[in-house]
Structure 1
Amino acid sequence: MNTNKVAKMAAKTPTLDFQVAIEKCELCQEEDAQFYCNDCQEEMCSGCKTAHLRSKASHSHNVVSTKLGKSIRKSRKPIKCTTHSREIIRMYCTSCDEAVCVKFVTDIKHENHKFEELETTLYRYQDEISQNISQTKQQIEELQKSLHTIDVNVKDYTEVSDKTINEINQQRKQMKSDIDKIADDLVHQVTNRKEQDLKLILKEKKDIQKILSEHNEFLQSCEEKLKSIKGFSNIQHHIKNPQSSLPSITHINPLTFVSNNTLELEDMFGQLVDSLETKLTQKMYKHEKDQKKQTKSDDSVSCTSGTTISTDIVSRINPGWCVSAVNDNEAWCDGDRNLVLIDIHGNVKRKIQLNNNVYDIAVTTKGEIFVTGSTNIKKYLQDDSCINIADTEPYETRGLCLTFSTR
């Protein structure tokens, strides 16, 4: 029976008030009573209690101390039946789930119904309620623990989030500082270069102005001599131009800035990951960074880092003098009467056999290869087929220059 039914029953049917507890055991009538059986409503001594609970008929009875039994009985007051005013409610119909007086036992309304003493029902429900109270207290304790855990999680989550925001702001500040340093350095280089170049240009301007002044003076002198026939004989030693050759002008290209648009700022700045993955992500970034450093070292074709690449190429293809880049990672070069496509590590990707030596190579964006050898220029297509472009006999073509059209 559920708690609602217990509440309903308890509200409807308070039970009788009992007499003052008997001091002697009601079973043996010899020993003092120390216990009370709620099911039998009898007081008993310790020995009779043991025998009572060993009996098959009463082994499940609810036996409590006499003090508790008296307290329970005194707390209950009798209630009269609303149908039979002179009767006191003593029974409980388990079929109807209703407390009744003894007259209802024979009433046609409760025919073939099951009855039990009200006291027995109350004690049984009391045990159920006690179990519910115990379970509810345990659940309350678990819920309180859960609330505490949530509070701790909220605190930890807030601390991690605040720390993350702080780290992002620090990264922002650091990157701004680094960018400012890089920009300041570039501006300083341009400024120094500008001062040096302008100094040179102004010096050349001053020299030219001096020469120009000398020429103007000479011109004026000549014009004056022409006006006087008398002075004609004295012009001989002035007829020579004061500056036999004009000064050359140095063409100086100023520094310009090319922004690196290929870099993704989001990748440079960082990304958000689950806090459990932070260490793993940092290890991954470190590994990628080390790989990029190694690749950058391998990809370099500068004079200081090209030894390894040159050694690989020499050992593989015995190259000549001609090299033409296809992209950042591949280049065509001549090697022992062959055109050879190699990567940055010296690996041979493709080879075209030639009938003559190669003087120079040029590669278009479409992958077409122009080759000059002695007195002719040939074009090699993607399928290695060859087209003769021009014959230059009797002249030898030693170099090729490839220009790009915007059309």
Structure 2
Amino acid sequence: DANAMFYCNTCNQPLCSSCRDDTHRAKMFARHEIVTLAKRTKALHKKCPLHEEPYIMFSTEKKSMLCINCFRDMQVESRAHCIDIETAYVQGCEKLDQAVMAVKELQTSTREAIILLKAMINEVTANVIEEESAISSLFNSMQEKLAERKKILLKTAQNQHEEKEKAFKEQLSNMAALLPTLQVHLVTCSAFLSSANKFEFLDLGYQLMERLQKIVKLPHRLRPTQSSKINTEYRPEFARCLEPLLFLNHRRSGSMTGGGPGNGISNGNGM
């Protein structure tokens, strides 16, 4: 092979095929030891570069091969960590196999994780669409329920307003009618006191006083019979109408009774 490389162990230099054929074919190079570069490279791993002796031992402590001279130069306590080349090779192969198996297991786990993650990416895309649809659906249902309950509550507020206003106007009318009557009696009493003599006073005064007392003792409703507050309890009503939508899997507590439209809405006086 024209591209093959060689090495002259005598000259300690590499040679191409042309140099080997043209130069090292001369008689003066006849005793030179020429080997292929690949063979020399393999040979290098068999000899200690420091002592030029073949490797015979392996230090498990320093993870290096030793020739006989290297072994002799070692401290005594370090020699306990030395084993022969064949044993070191077998043990090394076993450890390498274990390391390779661990990497293969990691490789398998990584591939499985990739498949799982790809599947989860597809799932999360589908799940977000489902979740967004559920959110929109629930929101629309809540809006419908709230709109229905809003109409009921506004009607309740209007009913309370009409009832209270009617009661207040009726009472106001009665008070307005009472005031002139009281004024007439006060004027009459004042005129009687200024014009009557003793005999007239004693003759008619007690009748006048009795009449005044009867007027005062009549059951006049001077204070409002109810408050002006409009109370529809809209907060619990809105919560109650949303409860079936928000807590489908929760049983209603004993304190939450009823549940139909308008339940719990005050349509009375709201005192």
Q: Give TM-score scaled by structure 1 length.
A: 0.30
RCO comparison, higher one (Cα < 8 Å, 6+): 2
Name the structure with the higher strand share. 1
Of Structure 1 and Structure 2, which has the larger fraction of its residues in helix? 2
Taking structure 2 as the reference length, the TM-score comes to 0.41
